[in-house]
Amino acid sequence: MASAPNANDSSSAADPDRRRTIALVDDDRNILTTLSILLQSEGFATRLYSDGHTALNSLIENPPDLAIFDIKMPRMSGLELLQKLRDRSSLPVIFLTSKDEEMDEALGLALGADDYITKPFSQRLLVARIRAILRRSALAQATPPPSDEDDLPEPIERGKLRMDPARHLVTWQGKPVAITVTEFLILEALATRPGLVKSRNQLMDAAYSEDVFIDDRTIDSHIKRLRRKFRAVDPQFAAIETLYGAGYSFLDD
């Protein structure tokens, strides 16, 4: 495939009603090409942008179904691009970054990113996250009449925790907590059955598609990040309990 231009819409020959479109924004043309080939092989259409300035107007005027931003880009970083985008759009966004920095992740999620994946990453994991976010985005944007509201997933309320699975919203003591899709699915698996110990394997099954293979210690990292985010809202947060050698449980106090 030839190197990507600043904006390359590969969906022109596709039926827009049959293919979801993913916008890729990265100054590394090799990554743009690799991801575009991957996503097209998975049935997606792609649009490619090599800088945030070029991408911004296009994302607003002709929005795709989801966008993937690199964080570290010249002229306009992914964080700045998301901030400008959020003034006018709720387009689902995944961040890619080569730096596993808590500050970047926290700021990205606070600005409204839907997930955050660190390079190098599993291609199957990225595709699984894209599909999960698209499903949740479609549900969150749905506006059913009152008679259909019973079809939506019921909010989960456990003590100080409230989760809205339909809209991917989490609060603790009434205060919003910004977490990724993966973290949401792990927390949902724990909070649905408070007091029940969930093994790492069970939590992996809840958070990842069956064809994605990850180290079970990845769950430990997600739990650590979840605790850190809740403790930023409530320093006394201790609702996620570790049972060494067994797994984790949610304490419904």
Question: How far is Cα of residue 127 from the mean position of the Cα atoms in its chain?
Answer: 11
58 Cα distance to chain centroid: 22
Kindly list the structural domains of the chain, giving each domain's residue range(s) and its CATH number in brackets, ordered by start. Answer: 8-141 (3.40.50.2300), 152-250 (1.10.10.10)
State which residues of the chain have pLDDT below 50.
1-17, 143-147, 211
pLDDT for 209: 58
pLDDT at 71: 87
At which residue do the structure tokens 């002709």 appear? 62
Q: CA–CA distance from 240 to each of 100, 168, 203, 236, 249 (Å)?
A: 23, 19, 13, 12, 6
Q: What is the pLDDT of residue 4?
A: 41
Burial of 83 (0-12, 13-18, 19+ CB in 10 A): middle
Distance CA 131, CA 66 (A): 10
User: 159 is written with which tokens?
Assistant: 């003590």
> What is the pLDDT, as a whole number, of residue 117?
82
- Single out the residue of 185, 172, 79 nearest to residue 125, CA to CA: 185
pLDDT reported for residue 125 = 81
Nearest to 86 by CA among 60, 107, 66: 60
